Structure 1
């Protein structure tokens, strides 16, 4: 496929393209749809960081996401990688679908059961998504598809027992259950609630951070 990247600094698409999201926050890409060989493709474009000190970090994000998508090639719960472009963008299969909250029929309990199974399979492959929320899930033909793997982490098998890695997996599953409750109204079961509860060391870190933040805010005020 012939993927075309917008020229550096250009943020105006040709007539055949449409913008899905403008990158406004730090290291957030422009996301747009273009026509590639008669089919729509999504481009995540970090090109505005070219010739800036953030260029190496942007290139790292592209490489990391491309690596994860290559590992997930052929998996129906993730889009296919079409290729990388100039080191600062990647082309991804366009998935026609809706966000979970936009179609109550499609986003029923059965879809969230699929989503839980998909996240569990992702974890079995040693990958955590780390950014699961409704904007990063599409329902396409009744199948949940995970998108935006820029924050994903791949962990070697011999490191998966470490508490921080287990916490990443727990956080992924907790986010799925929170989405299900918010969209369908189905609360977590007692067993699910126990699995969602963060371990003591995580709560200790959060409590300590809150104390430091309050002290800093009080002094700066």
Structure 2
């Protein structure tokens, strides 16, 4: 679907807008592709919340993701930040390629790169927290992480805490699942042991499942 650039908050140099996804759920942005100052771009647009109390939350989401992308500036495994466009829209570099969810055939070297990218991301105190095939695009043989909306930057004094460790573990578990599904390679025994959930996580998950079943039964 194409729309005129006049209906979106772009510089005058933008000409066409190609809708990629309409935001239908709460605080889900419209996502579209365009050209900004001659650069192919993808924009996440929260403008429909302008003038509402949720605009404060939308601005926070834009600012948080922009800060993560700014920290990753120049890194080949993340798109470049272009602009925040009035605080309610985030413009970033368009990465050509196919997502892992599209069933693209990739070899072990792509997942080796992706694992190295995650380790470097974690070393910088950042966890992605939404790693799945839709959020990884392979461009010229290089995996690029997309959608840092759920990403979390831990301050140095919290990076070795239990929550930060669990978030890193969750990222790696999602990577292992994708690798096993697309290449058939299971995790090594050492990696499987490293990714095993601690008892406190299993306890919380079990308690939540029991509560959810009880709520669903009584509803």
- TM-score, length basis structure 1: 0.90
Q: 2:121 matched to which residue of 1?
A: 122
For residue 43 of structure 2, give the secondary structure of its aligned residue in structure 1.
strand
Q: 2:75 matched to which residue of 1?
A: 75
Q: 1:157 matched to which residue of 2?
A: 156
The whole-number CA distance in structure 2 between the counterparts of 1:5 and 1:48 is 15
Q: Which stretches in structure 2 are left out of the alignment for 5+ residues?
A: none
Contact 1:111 1:144 in 2 (8 A): yes
Once the two structures are superposed, the pairs formed by residues 1-221 of structure 1 within 5 Å of their partners are 6-7=7-8, 16-102=16-102, 104-105=104-105, 107-220=106-219
The whole-number CA distance in structure 1 between the counterparts of 2:104 and 2:134 is 15
The whole-number CA distance in structure 1 between the counterparts of 2:29 and 2:7 is 12
The whole-number CA distance in structure 2 between the counterparts of 1:113 and 1:6 is 42
Count of paired positions? 211
Aligned-pair distance for 1:6? 4.1
The whole-number CA distance in structure 2 between the counterparts of 1:5 and 1:58 is 22
The whole-number CA distance in structure 2 between the counterparts of 1:188 and 1:104 is 21
The whole-number CA distance in structure 2 between the counterparts of 1:138 and 1:7 is 26
The whole-number CA distance in structure 1 between the counterparts of 2:38 and 2:8 is 21
Q: 1:11 matched to which residue of 2?
A: none
- Residues 169 and 5 of structure 1: is their aligned pair in 2 closer, same or farther, counting only changes over 3 Å? farther
Q: In angstroms, what is the RMSD of aligned CA positions?
A: 1.7
The C-alpha deviation readout for 1:60-108, integer Å capped at 9, x for no partner, is 0000000000000000100000011111001100111111244644x21
The whole-number CA distance in structure 1 between the counterparts of 2:90 and 2:141 is 26
Aligned-pair distance for 1:38? 2.9
Contact 1:101 1:183 in 2 (8 A): no
Contact 2:15 2:35 in 1 (8 A): no
- Residues 103 and 119 of structure 1: is their aligned pair in 2 closer, same or farther, counting only changes over 3 Å? same
Contact 1:5 1:85 in 2 (8 A): no
